[in-house]
Amino acid sequence: MKTPTDTPTRRVRVEVNGTTLTREVECRKHLVDFLREDCGLKGSHLGCEHGVCGACTVRLDGQIVRGCLVLAAQADGHRVETVETPTPGKRLKALQDAFIEHNALQCGYCTPGMLMAALELVEQRPEADRAQVREWISGNYCRCTGYHAIVDAVCAVLEQQKAGRFADEPIASGQEARA
């Protein structure tokens, strides 16, 4: 019978929110657990642990991923961004402010993952309409808000973007527009 000390580990080097970290992690540890337990970043939440709810959504090299479906070892040599980044870009800060202004959060459990998904939408689909916003965020479950206020908040940021507010901020590197 194996004991906890028999669990295989691997040394990983990951850039998390701009800081390069080197840690020894269990080979089976998920990225969201690594962020929460090893990095002390509690913003990415554990919901379903099956990639369905979106509460654990983070960016890996500029692309959103479900942190419960990616192993920490798979992030070795890569860049991870969470909602807790100490220097949020203008789009993320605008989304955070809009979520507050439009009451787009209640319990807040889905909010970090929802913000990361919304950020990708704002960057990749700047011409999105309400229906497209609702469809884009449909992979992130929210049991409290009914999504209306979330869609309002994201649309408000899209309008700011159309007005040129973020013209001087580049899209996150590593991202390509979806077809």
DSSP state of 36: I
Q: Is residue 50 in a domain?
A: yes
Q: What interhelical angle do 90-101 and 111-124 show, nearest 10? A: 130
**Torsion, CA 40, CA 88, CA 91, CA 167, rounded to 10:** -150
Q: Is residue 39 in a domain?
A: yes
Residue 43: which domain range?
A: 4-81
Q: Rounded CA gap, 9 and 22, in Å? A: 13
Reported as a single tens digit per residue, the pLDDT across 93-152 is 999 999 999 999 889 999 999 999 999 999 999 999 999 999 999 999 998 888 999 999
Domain match, 74 and 107 both: no
Domain match, 10 and 77 both: yes
Domain match, 77 and 110 both: no
Domain match, 67 and 94 both: no
Amino acid (one-letter) located at 97: D
Domain match, 43 and 96 both: no
For 49-73, the three-class secondary structure string (H helix, E strand, C coil) is: CCCCCCCCEEEECCEEEECCCCEHH
Q: Is residue 170 in a domain?
A: no
**Number of domain units in the chain:** 2
Q: Is residue 169 in a domain?
A: no
CB distance 147 to 155 below 8 Å: no
Q: Which of 1-5, 60-64, 111-115 has the lowest mean pLDDT?
A: 1-5
Domain match, 57 and 110 both: no
Domain match, 37 and 62 both: yes
- CATH number of the CATH domain containing 23: 3.10.20.30
Reported as a single tens digit per residue, the pLDDT across 169-178 is 888 755 544 4
- CATH number of the CATH domain containing 147: 1.10.150.120
Query: Which residues partner with 25 through β-bridges?
Result: 10
Q: Kindly indicate the confidence band of residue 1, based on its pLDDT and cuts at 50, 70 and 90.
A: low
Domain match, 77 and 94 both: no
Domain match, 154 and 105 both: yes
